[in-house]
Structure 1
Amino acid sequence: MEFESLFMRIKDGRVERLMGTEFIPPSTDPETGVSSKDAIIDPTTGVSARLFLPRTSNSLKLPILIYFHGGGFCVESPFSPAYHAYVNTLSAELNALAVSINYRLAPEHPLPTAYNDACTAIKWIDGGQEEWLRDYGDLDRVFLMGDSCGANICHQMGMRWSESLFDVKFKGVVLINPYFWGEERIGFENNEDCKFLGGDLVKLWHIVCPELRGYDEAFVNPVGDGAPSLDRLGCERVVVCVAELDPLRERGRAYYEKLRESGWGGVAEFVEVMGEGHVFHLFKPESDKAQDLMKLLVDFVNHK
């Protein structure tokens, strides 16, 4: 099964990606004053990160924002124009030290590789060996944020905290248009006009995880009967953001409702952006609704 809009398999086994491959070098942004640099997290796997340091005039340490990009686990990186620009803006607006993680991609590296790479990255951040993290980052204020499959990774990392895989407990987790699914159709998914059903984003799970036994696997459907209880989520606050025209919106809503019912002791917030589609904030970052989302994120990170 191939996905011509995302990648092609070459006869010799190589994968040629058709989007998200452009590399923007790190720099100091003249508009925001944010400086960026790249760091190798694990030389044996190539897992790396782009760090963003805002211009600051005081000696107080900054919250740390760990960002996981989307792209169906198959494309994109922190170095592409859309993600470099967006996380650069997040760093400036949130006044946070942002760390955008470059995890390995499917189909060459199927799940759980992305999850394991994310875990490695969080342990590296928690270790505080990197200069900017050591000098400017506040490990008592760590936030996870991601869109689409990146939001899926955020959920997984929140759950792995309960397994004592890393010391840091997250102050907050932001799931933007999370990439979840399930065997049974819910909500508007029952609408016969929903062209997405049976489409590429559903079938893509079989590329991402060739050993997938069904769409109710816990990493696909975190609210399914076989999934661990969400009361184990290792953070204090969660915001789930969905978009009205996103075919995945019902999955985000179901996640929020299940989290509220689970007995988890934190505070959850649900936001639906009307008239917009999947990851609209990347495609239209200057739009009023993307700006409203940014204000929400600023309030979320700066909440006392």
Structure 2
Amino acid sequence: MSHNSALPATFDPYEYLQIVLNPDGTITRKHNLLSGAAATSDPSHHTIPSKDISINQSNNVGVRIYLPRQALDSSSTVKLPLIVYYHGGGFIIGNVAASVFHNFCSNMALEFPAVVLSVKYRLAPEHRLPAAYDDAMEALHWIKATQEVWLKKYADLSSCFLMGTSAGGNIVYHVGLRAASQIDELFPLKVKGLILHQPFIGGVKRTESELRLMNNPVFPACVSDLMWDLSLPHGVDRDHEYCNPTVGDESKALDQIRVQEWKVVITGWNGDPMIDRQIELVKMIEQKGVKVKSHFCDRGYHGIDIVDATKMKDLQIILKNFVLS
């Protein structure tokens, strides 16, 4: 199926997402959409060592840490930047073990090199927003205080970047705003920049790109609408600030980001229905005097650079320049 063909009118977003809505409001996830890869702390020639750590058992919040081989090989005592990564999945599916995110994080650790820490957060509708933001924030507080040897020994906590793909990009924005107002509480963890990779954002009134790509088979409107229905707090619409960052009054928090001199990068593709909103978000952040770079490319589609090896390479070059600059 080409990426601009129309969907059949009878298209079922539940079927597309491989989920079933239960009478009690929870969902059953038929896991084949984002199947998993185990962590392995045994580095072979082809794998980056990784390990899973639970940080809050009652909420099932945890992290998967990826250690670049450079950290193990070298006699160098230079610590590496820390990338805290939040996976995608529209807040309702996905996890740190999903192969697509596991491989993406492994590749980042290898390419940069950097210590990459992928956060396992609670999913909606069982845990609606702001649960994911709360868990994402809890992970930052855990990082600052932990004695975990991979972080203590190899990660430079004063050079931390928050990165997320799709829903994870949305998390980075909202957690970035929170973290900017908690600089002292997070010390010695110091955030240097935010990476919003194809951030998942929306609003009630459709933009031109949402109308143009309404029925694109990769991320049709009915699928993103369902994701928002299941993840936003009960009783609000898509013009809630969790979904539509241009409506909330975040000027104080954005001022903090400007004062801290954090850098922001937002990436997207012309074939992603959210491209117009992502461009608007760049303008809004820029107007607050925050240093923001954007990389919007032609064609492509939502999620292309975590599944297409060539596009992933291109993205990594952009991100590497951003992190190391």
| Percent of residue pairs bearing the same amino acid type | 31
The amino acid of 2:209's aligned partner reads F
**Residue 204 of structure 1: SS of its match in structure 2?**
helix
**Residue 262 of structure 2: SS of its match in structure 1?**
strand
Checking the alignment, whether the CA contact within 8 Å between 1:71 and 1:148 is kept in structure 2 is yes
2:90 paired residue among 41, 64, 72 = 72
The amino acid of 1:236's aligned partner reads W
The amino acid of 2:293's aligned partner reads E
2:245 paired residue among 216, 222, 227 = 222
Q: Deviations over 1:63-121 (max 9, x none)?
A: 11100000000111111111111100000111111000111111111111111111111
User: CA separation of 1:33/1:25 partners in 2, compared to 1, >3 Å: closer, same or farther?
Assistant: closer
**Residue 230 of structure 2: SS of its match in structure 1?**
helix
**Residue 202 of structure 2: SS of its match in structure 1?**
coil
1:33 Cα offset (Å): 5.3
CA distance in 2, matches of 1:21, 1:13: 22
Is it true that 1:250 corresponds to 2:268 in the alignment? no
After TM superposition, the score normalised by the length of structure 1 is 0.90
User: CA separation of 1:240/1:130 partners in 2, compared to 1, >3 Å: closer, same or farther?
Assistant: same
1:12 Cα offset (Å): 7.3
**Residue 299 of structure 1: SS of its match in structure 2?**
helix
The amino acid of 1:3's aligned partner reads Y
User: CA separation of 1:263/1:14 partners in 2, compared to 1, >3 Å: closer, same or farther?
Assistant: closer
User: CA separation of 1:11/1:215 partners in 2, compared to 1, >3 Å: closer, same or farther?
Assistant: closer
Checking the alignment, whether the CA contact within 8 Å between 2:85 and 2:163 is kept in structure 1 is yes
Checking the alignment, whether the CA contact within 8 Å between 2:245 and 2:281 is kept in structure 1 is yes
Flag structure 1 segments of 5+ consecutive residues without an equivalent.
Answer: none
CA distance in 2, matches of 1:136, 1:222: 35
Which 4+ stretches in 1 moved above 4 angstroms?
A: 10-14
Alignment correspondent of 1:17: 29
1:184 Cα offset (Å): 3.0
The amino acid of 1:154's aligned partner reads V
1:44 Cα offset (Å): 1.8
Alignment correspondent of 1:53: 67
Checking the alignment, whether the CA contact within 8 Å between 1:72 and 1:149 is kept in structure 2 is yes
1:156 paired residue among 155, 171, 174 = 174
**RMSD (Å), alpha carbons:** 2.2
Checking the alignment, whether the CA contact within 8 Å between 1:206 and 1:212 is kept in structure 2 is no
More helix by share: 2
Checking the alignment, whether the CA contact within 8 Å between 2:198 and 2:303 is kept in structure 1 is yes
1:36 paired residue among 46, 50, 70 = 50
Checking the alignment, whether the CA contact within 8 Å between 2:203 and 2:238 is kept in structure 1 is yes
Mapping 1:251-270, distance limit 5 Å:
251-264=277-290, 267-270=291-294
The amino acid of 1:248's aligned partner reads M
User: CA separation of 1:212/1:200 partners in 2, compared to 1, >3 Å: closer, same or farther?
Assistant: farther
Is it true that 1:84 corresponds to 2:102 in the alignment? yes
Checking the alignment, whether the CA contact within 8 Å between 1:142 and 1:169 is kept in structure 2 is yes
CA distance in 2, matches of 1:140, 1:220: 30
The amino acid of 1:279's aligned partner reads G
CA distance in 2, matches of 1:176, 1:219: 17
Alignment correspondent of 2:302: 278
The amino acid of 2:294's aligned partner reads F
1:232 Cα offset (Å): 3.5
User: Which segment drifts farther, 151-160 or 294-303?
Assistant: 294-303
CA distance in 2, matches of 1:32, 1:173: 29
CA distance in 2, matches of 1:166, 1:212: 33
Checking the alignment, whether the CA contact within 8 Å between 2:169 and 2:199 is kept in structure 1 is yes
Checking the alignment, whether the CA contact within 8 Å between 2:137 and 2:179 is kept in structure 1 is no
CA distance in 2, matches of 1:82, 1:277: 16
1:138 paired residue among 153, 156, 176 = 156
Alignment correspondent of 1:238: 264
Is it true that 1:8 corresponds to 2:30 in the alignment? no
User: CA separation of 1:216/1:184 partners in 2, compared to 1, >3 Å: closer, same or farther?
Assistant: same
Q: Deviations over 1:210-257 (max 9, x none)?
A: 414222211111112x33123333661111001110001111111111
CA distance in 1, matches of 2:241, 2:62: 27
Checking the alignment, whether the CA contact within 8 Å between 2:181 and 2:256 is kept in structure 1 is no
